[in-house]
Structure formats: C-alpha cells, structure tokens
Amino acid sequence: MSKRIEEIDILKGIGIILVIVGHLAIPYVFLRVIFAFHMPVFIICSGIVFTEKKLKNNILHILRAYLITGLFETVILEGVETRSLYECRLALVSLMAGGGITGL
C-alpha cells in the first residue's frame, strides 16, 4: 500500500471547504476568487498522485457508480416529470454519452 502525502490531503481538505463555502450565499467577489481555483486544486492533486495502476483498478468502480447514480437520477427524478418513455430513453442515452440528464 502506498504512503499518503499529507500535503495533498491538506490541499484536498481546503478544496472541499472552498466548494462548501462557494455554495453559500456570499458576495460575488469572493465567489469569483473561490471558483477561479477550487476545482483546479482537485485536478492538480489528482495528477500528482496519479498512477496508471490506480486507474486500471478503479475505472470499473468509477463507471459503475456513475451509471448507477445516473440511472437512479434518470428513472426516479426524471421519470417523475417525464411524459413519455421516449424522453426517458433520451435521458439515458445522454447519460451514457457523458451529458447527464441535463442534456434534454
């Protein structure tokens, strides 16, 4: 098992806090500052600890979680408002193409 890098964990923790703060009702000027770097922090942290072995081990778990969550969201949330099976199928195709259900 690989050793964790404490600095990366701290950066990710700060990023999580900034995501939460960014969703609060705060002045727009602060939102612009937070939104300028809070997601790049996660991308940089992921890139630093990325290994091809980790990707191969986790890709199926990631895809499975994405599809199950998307299916749940499509069937339950979209199905409540959908007037036809055709629209539900469109939402599923959009999900599988990476567009989520907002692609409708």
Spatial separation of the C-alpha atoms in residues 93 and 97, rounded to whole Å: 6
Provide the sign of the torsion angle of the four alpha carbons 93, 99, 100, 103, taken in this order. negative
Tens-level pLDDT at each residue, the chain (104 residues):
568 888 888 988 888 888 888 888 788 888 888 888 878 888 888 778 777 777 777 777 777 887 787 777 766 665 566 556 677 677 777 766 766 555 44
pLDDT given at position 103? 44
Per-residue HEC secondary structure of 21-38 comes to HHCCCCCHHHHHHHHHHH
